[in-house]
Amino acid sequence: MVLALIPLAAWLAGCSPAWNWREVPQGDAPLTALLPCKPDRGSRDVPMAGESVSLRMTGCEANGATFAISQMKLRPAAPASEALAQWRAATLANMRAGEVREQPFQLAGGLALPQSVRLTARGQRADGQAVSAQAVWFARSTPDGLWLFHAVIYADTVKPEVADTFFGGLKLQGAP
């Protein structure tokens, strides 16, 4: 009987009032996301796949965790696999990741690429303090360009039920 209550307790923890989940459109990107707090937005130009592109970010902090969704649009013929691999490598290098575990991540309507992954990593914050991360990278092709996406949670400890709610709330528009 007690074992039957564990999944219910995990679900309730992910949906508790401490997490004020809301659906957040990602500007003109074909993506909506669930965030547990009111987001801030920002952008900057970055080099990716041989061009300078606008990296747009949406993020917030709740209960000691930082949630962020980033996206960029490349030319339609851009090499999606290489760009996702480059983005993943830069993210892991930035957090000086030591322990990394990954698995495939396929979002409905996204490109089926080996570089579309969900990972768990341990590393360091900019101040040298330990940090855990759970992250995903994926891509979507549209007639006017190739969209690349990255969603991440940084915290001392990332609770699996919170990560599942966050990543489960990523929805590509027009996807089945």
Q: Which residues of the chain have pLDDT under 50?
A: 1-16
pLDDT of residue 1: 37
Q: How far apart are CA 38 and CA 21, in angstroms?
A: 9
Identify residue 89 by its one-letter amino acid code.
A
CA count, 13 A, side-chain hemisphere, 38: 0
- Count CA within 13 A, CB hemisphere, residue 150: 23
Tally of structural domains, the chain:
1
The whole-number pLDDT of residue 175 equals 64
| One-letter amino acid for residue 78 of the chain | A
Q: Output DSSP code: residue 125.
A: -
What gap in Å lies between CA 63 and CA 133, rounded to an integer? Answer: 15
Distance CA 176, CA 172 (A): 9
Domain range for 131: 2-172
**How many angstroms separate the most distant Cα atoms in the chain?**
57
- Asked whether the beta carbons of 76 and 146 are under 8 A apart, the reply is yes
Question: Is 121 in contact with 100 (CB distance < 8 Å)?
Answer: yes
Give me the pLDDT at residue 176, please.
Answer: 57
Can you give the CATH number for the domain in which 29 is found?
3.40.1000
pLDDT value of residue 144: 87
